[in-house]
Chains A and B, each alone.
Chain A
Amino acid sequence: MTFVLTLMAAAGASGVELLEALAIVLGVGVTRGHRNALLGALAGGLSVLALCVVLGPALRAGASVAVIRVIVGSLLLLFGLEWLRKGVLRVAGRRGRASSYHEFVEARESSAALPNASGRPDWAARAIAFQGVFLEGLEVGLIVLALGATPGHLVPALLGAAVALLLIAAAGLALRRPLQRLPETQIKLGMGIALTAFGTYFTALGLDAHWPLAELAPLYLGALFALTARLAIRRLERDRPVAEAT
Chain B
Amino acid sequence: MSSLLWRLRRKLLGETWTIPLGIAAALVLALVFRALLSSGEWQTMGGFGLAAVLITTLIRSLPLERRRTTLIRSLPLERRRTPDETAAAHVQQHDPPQGVTRCTSGNGG
| A-B complex is real | yes
Query: Which A residues have a C-beta under 8 Å from some C-beta of B?
Result: 70, 74, 77-78, 81-82, 84-86, 88-89, 94, 131, 135, 138-139, 142, 196, 200-201, 203-204, 207-211, 217, 221, 224-225, 228-229, 232, 235-236, 239, 242-243, 246
Query: Within the complex, what minimum Cβ distance (angstroms) separates B45 from chain A?
Result: 8
The 19 listed contacts between A and B (C-beta, < 8 Å) are A74-B27, A78-B13, A78-B23, A82-B14, A85-B16, A85-B61, A86-B15, A88-B58, A88-B62, A200-B50, A203-B26, A203-B50, A207-B30, A209-B45, A209-B47, A228-B58, A232-B58, A232-B64, A243-B74
Overall SS of chain B's interface: helix
Number of A-B contacts (CB under 8 A): 115
**In the complex the two chains form, is A81's CB within 8 Å of B8's CB?**
no
Give Cα A211–Cα B50 distance, bound, in whole angstroms. Answer: 12
Size band of the interface chain B makes with A: 35 or more
Query: Within the complex, what minimum Cβ distance (angstroms) separates B44 from chain A?
Result: 7
Considering the complex, give the chain B residue whose CB is closest to the CB of A86.
B15
**In the complex the two chains form, is B67's CB within 8 Å of A139's CB?**
no
Query: Within the complex, what minimum Cβ distance (angstroms) separates B25 from chain A?
Result: 12
With A135-B11, A200-B47, A209-B50 known as contacts, the answer to whether A78 contacts B71 (CB < 8 A) is: no
Query: Within the complex, what minimum Cβ distance (angstroms) separates A224 from chain B?
Result: 6
Residue numbers in B under 8 Å from A85 (CB-CB): 14, 16, 19, 58, 61-62
